[in-house]
Amino acid sequence: MLEFYSASARIVNSKRAIQECMEIALGDDYASADLIIINASIGHNFQDLVDQATEMAPNARVVTSSCCGIVGREGVSESMKDIGIMAVKGKDFHLAHTSSISGKTAYEECLKMAHSLKASSSSINMIYFLASGIDIANDQCIRAFEEVLGEGVTIFGATSSDNMKGHISYQAVDREVFEHGAFAVGFSDPTLKVDTQATHGFVAVGEPLIVTKSDGHVIKELNGKPAWEEYTERLGLDASANCGDTIPIGALGEELSIDLAKEYGNKHILRVVTSIEGTDMHFATNCPEGTKLWLTTRDEELIFSEMDKMVESMRVRMGDGKPVAVFHADCLARGRFLFNRIIKEELVGKMQFPFYQNNACPPWLGMYGFGEFARLGGKNEYHNYTTALYVLYR
């Protein structure tokens, strides 16, 4: 039976940061960890992180991703030197990874990982998935995992990020650090269940942009014009802008069905531009020609009200279940680029307090990344600009 432990810190020295988190989470028993999951802001040295974690827990598997800030039991922080860990004791997990993944290879690489997981165990019922946040077709990742492991396997996790520049992000497995990698942790503990949900609180405005030419996840034309030029013009930006300039203001909405919109609390699911190549836009999912994309604006009142509804819905679905760990992915545009510190901490408090056990927050590992995986309409889905919670409970 898996046991979970978490800690977070803000420390400049990467090796010291890991040491402190391991000691806070596990006390003197840190060498007994079987799995260590690390989220760290882009200012850390990722090789030092994984080396130190492996030195302290030599028998543990170590997986790591870069982010734009963390959320832990201790609260929220978004400096360049934040770090959070989830340490796991127990053997009911299975790890697969790839050193290189892109939008064009997302399906094939995830298919390989899915087959590797299935070969390790036929009892996997949930997958923590973390991939590069730059140039990836996340819907194709979901498709590949479901094709091998079935649609009943819940996929949760995020895509790695930098400090909202869209230049580089990191992933690591054991002592190998990648820039365009991905890993999947399959859990097979029969006593463990997971519930996932996401919400964003943005509202579509104006007339949609229409995709008139695309190739998989690459949008080449919008409204018959070069995609990046048309998109930035609609945002009021010059075409020389970069992805980092568009992320806070440029969320693009795809219309949902009436039933999905009712569950989601919003008429649109949001997408982000992950990178640009000339005037082509790399989208976070495949985007066929004819797709309508609305610009959106954030509604802070809606963000808070939908957060309350989401947490309440999750508590109802859990019934008498007790949370044993919470994984959490948040869009970096909902962090310091959206709220000031006081409101941000209030939002985190609203999502954490309902899951308290014996007046204490359960082990919690959250990150500000480029995108989030959570179920919608009973199916695995990829989201952008959301708060997504993944509650593991018994």
Segment 20-29 mean pLDDT: 97
Rounded Cα distance between 372 and 217, Å, is 17
Q: What is the pLDDT of residues 65-74, one digit of tens each?
A: 999 999 999 9
Angle, helices 46-56/14-26, rounded to nearest 10 degrees: 40
Reference 177, options 59, 38, 276, 55; nearest CA is 38
Instruction: Calculate what percentage of the chain has a pLDDT beyond 90.
Output: 86
* Collapsed DSSP state (helix, strand, coil) of residue 203: strand
Give the side-chain half-sphere CA count within 13 A for 269. Answer: 24
Burial class (CB in 10 A: 0-12, 13-18, 19+), 113: buried
Instruction: Please report which confidence band the pLDDT of residue 343 belongs to, taking 50, 70 and 90 as the band edges.
Output: low
Q: What is the pLDDT of residues 213-229, one digit of tens each?
A: 999 999 999 999 999 99
Rounded Cα distance between 183 and 93, Å, is 13
Q: How many helices (H) and strands (E) does the chain have?
A: 9, 26
| pTM metric for this prediction | 0.95
Q: For residue 346, how many other CB atoms are within 10 A of its CB? A: 11
Give CA angle at 331 (70, 311), nearest 5°: 85
The CA-to-CA distance between both ends of the chain, in Å, stands at: 11
Residue 143 region, left (φ>0) first, then alpha (ψ -120 to 50), else beta?
A: alpha
pLDDT at 298 over 80: yes
Instruction: Please report which confidence band the pLDDT of residue 345 belongs to, taking 50, 70 and 90 as the band edges.
Output: confident
Choose between 5 and 300: higher pLDDT.
Answer: 5
pLDDT at 53 over 90: yes
pLDDT at 56 over 80: yes
Rounded Cα distance between 59 and 255, Å, is 47
Q: What is the pLDDT of residues 123-163, one digit of tens each?
A: 999 999 999 999 999 999 999 999 999 999 999 999 999 88
pLDDT, mean over the chain: 94
Q: Which range, of 48-57, 84-93, 335-344, averages the lowest pLDDT?
A: 335-344
| pLDDT on residue 82 | 96
What is the gyration radius of the CA atoms in the chain, in angstroms?
20
| pLDDT on residue 341 | 53
| pLDDT on residue 371 | 94
Q: For residue 50, how many other CB atoms are within 10 A of its CB? A: 23
| pLDDT on residue 378 | 95
User: 6, 85 in Cβ contact below 8 A?
Assistant: yes
pLDDT at 342 over 70: no
Reference 49, options 133, 174, 163; nearest CA is 174
Q: For residue 258, how many other CB atoms are within 10 A of its CB? A: 7
| pLDDT on residue 334 | 62
User: 89, 324 in Cβ contact below 8 A?
Assistant: no
